[in-house]
Amino acid sequence: MIKQKKNLHPVVERINDILVDLPGPSNISYIWNWGSILGLILVLQLITGLILASHFNSNVDIAFSSVIHIIKDVNYGWILRILHINGASLFFTVIYIHIARGILFSSFKSLFVWSSGTIILFLLIGTAFMGYVLPWGQISFWGATVITNLVSALPYVGSIIVEWLWGGFSVGGAALRRFFIIHFLLPFILTAFIIIHLISLHINGSNNPLGINSNYDKIPFHNYFSLKDSLRLIIFFFVLFYIRLIFPYSIGDPENFNPANPLNTPIHIQPEWYFLFAYAILRSIPNKLGGVVALVLSILIILILPFKLKTIISSKFHVSQKITFWFYTSSFVVLTWIGANPVEHPFELIGQICSFIYFIFLLSI
């Protein structure tokens, strides 16, 4: 018996064909579920962020107090903030795993999908940085000062751009209001790019553990893969709440519980853990402009992968490529650890070695 489709609007029918009825490789494993988990985290961040924004005040005199007000006075405000700040960490954790899976299984062969994903990563980094400044704690203030001041390394126009970003000659009220507006708008732009990324992925078709995109041995996305995704989403949801309710501030910097003080510089200024690898690469270059260029290239470099010689199967089945991948992953982990340590011996030397390994082995994949 042939199943007849309901009379749907052409656009709705097209979306249904792309997102629901599209066949997927039957041999993809659980590691392909990270994309759907990213979708769950995005929805969680949007909901909690909109509620928090309705209670936040971007005035420098009361920004820190408004965060305390959210935690103490707003109904369930404490859990909304915990979910939002830790949701950002989970977002980066999952997206790094998602990218690593794409590199290991040669998913970068689809140029448009990979390029749109890289744009999403840049937008996510911008959104997270702007959000980290908003609580206006010590690390938020000084982190914003250090990171925005990096733009001054650009020849001729750097200082002008920095003053425009600050709205003056230092990070203050104008900068905080701009960061709040940008942080509010970027997630919606991010969502649009994620939809484009998702549609382009389903149009081109997902690859499989063999690293190939074949039209053979495929099964419908719904309900085979959708049910599997739902199960893992439920598991992830419970793990998220367990960790966040038991260890709510385990990954934050204690210094950020103090209000911003322009006259008191913290001993060790560092970004959130998900930026530490890039921060370590920045510090490993003695030249300021060179460090900024290396910082940008540490993320932008993954765009070269689709243009490299395309292998028939995934890197997972090439012994040399697999070793190269794990060297690259190890350098990423070590750089994250180095970024949380002071710029002194032996951390400085280790950071320089790992930065070299990071770029060389990624180019070798």
Q: Answer whether 243's CB lies under 8 Å from 83's CB.
A: no
Highest mean pLDDT pick, 18-22, 27-31, 69-73, 269-273: 69-73
Helix 77-104 and helix 111-133, axial crossing angle in degrees, nearest 10: 150
Out of 19-23, 132-136, 295-299, pick the least confident.
19-23
Residue 65 binned pLDDT confidence (cut-offs 50, 70, 90): very high
CB atoms under 10 Å from CB of 3, counted, come to 4
- Please give the average per-residue pLDDT across 153-164, as a whole number: 86
Q: Which residue spans within the chain are E strands per DSSP?
A: 23-25, 218-220
Mean pLDDT throughout 139-153?
Answer: 88
Q: Is residue 238 classed as helix, strand or coil in its secondary structure?
A: helix
Question: Which domains occur in the chain, in start order?
Answer: 26-207+220-267 (1.20.810.10), 270-365 (1.10.287.980)
Name the DSSP class of 225.
Answer: I
pLDDT in tens, 187-226: 999 999 998 888 888 777 677 776 666 566 677 666 777 7
Q: What is the pTM of this model?
A: 0.87
Q: What is the mean pLDDT of residues 113-119?
A: 90
Closest to 58 measured CA to CA, from 132, 136, 129, 116: 136
pLDDT average, residue stretch 79-100: 90
* Reported confidence tier of residue 8, pLDDT bands at 50, 70, 90: low
- For 311-331, write each residue's pLDDT tens digit: 545 555 677 777 888 888 899
Rounded to whole angstroms, the Cα distance separating 234 from 232 reads 5
CB 128 within 8 A of CB 92: yes
pLDDT for res 1: 39
Q: Are 340 and 270 in contact (CB under 8 A)?
A: yes
Residues tagged active-site = 202, 206, 228-229, 272
As a whole number of angstroms, the distance between CA 64 and CA 68 comes to 7
User: Exposed, middle or buried: residue 4 (CB in 10 Å: 0-12, 13-18, 19+)?
Assistant: exposed
